[in-house]
Amino acid sequence: MHQCGMLDERDRKLLGLLQRNAETPVGELAEAVALSPSACSRRIARLKEDGYVTFCAAHLDRALMGLPTTVFVIVRTGQHSRDWLAKFHDAVAGIPEIVEVHRLTGNFDYILKLVLPNVEHYDFIYKQLVGRIELFDMSAYISMETVKQETALPTNYARGAMD
């Protein structure tokens, strides 16, 4: 009997395969992890129910979507009140070109990842952002090359993986 929340090697392998292609037929997944299709389907359902798989999405080709340019923006602010934080969260949530926002330790407060049709479009996003929220400093850095981009997470750190 499998304990809820504990992963075994088959679970980790299934999670790895699902990350690479969530549309892989259950029969192929079952064969890859040496299970019957029905047992594999039950495991996938349990992994979803336990929260390991949070959602499935299509990965779009950025060039075909007209968004080949990546710009990282470093933000510094003198504001840290609860009201300002809520306003900042709303401001970045309302700009679809901002695809990631991370709060940082150190000399900077946030880093934002933007996907844009071209470098010139950054000015449009800059004006939107500063029109919505007061910021102390913003510095933009244009990505010249994506050296590594992974959407798949390593599965060996999941609960039960180190047992």
Q: Flag whether pLDDT at 163 surpasses 80.
A: no
Scan for tokens 């997944």, then name that residue: 29
For 56-86, what is each residue's pLDDT tens digit?
999 999 999 999 999 999 999 988 899 999 9
For 116-161, what is each residue's pLDDT tens digit?
999 999 999 999 999 999 999 999 999 999 999 999 999 999 876 5
* pLDDT in the model for residue 4: 52
Identify which of 147, 141, 92, 134 has the alpha carbon closest to the alpha carbon of residue 119: 141
> Which amino acid makes up residue 158?
A
Of 40, 59, 78, at which residue does a domain stop? 59
Confidence of residue 162 (pLDDT cuts 50, 70, 90): very low
Residues 102 and 122 in one domain: yes
* pLDDT in the model for residue 3: 46
Report yes or no on 150 lying in a domain.
Answer: no
Q: What share of the chain is helix, strand, coil (3-state, %, to 5)?
A: 35, 15, 50
Residues 73 and 138 in one domain: yes
The residue segments making up the domain with residue 96 are 69-142
Q: Flag whether pLDDT at 15 surpasses 60.
A: yes
**Residue 56 is inside which H or E element, if any?**
none
Rounded CA-CA distance 133/140 in Å is 17
Of 59, 81, 103, at which residue does a domain stop? 59
Rounded CA-CA distance 86/93 in Å is 11
- Write the CATH number for 106: 3.30.70.920
Chain mean pLDDT for the chain: 93
Rounded CA-CA distance 2/38 in Å is 15
Residues 52 and 80 in one domain: no
Identify which of 104, 103, 39, 111 has the alpha carbon closest to the alpha carbon of residue 73: 111
Residues 38 and 87 in one domain: no
Confidence of residue 6 (pLDDT cuts 50, 70, 90): confident
* pLDDT in the model for residue 5: 60
User: 35 versus 1: which is more confidently predicted?
Assistant: 35
CB 138, CB 74: distance < 8 Å: yes
Rounded CA-CA distance 11/46 in Å is 10
Partners of 98 in the β-ladder: 114
Confidence of residue 2 (pLDDT cuts 50, 70, 90): very low
* pLDDT in the model for residue 60: 95
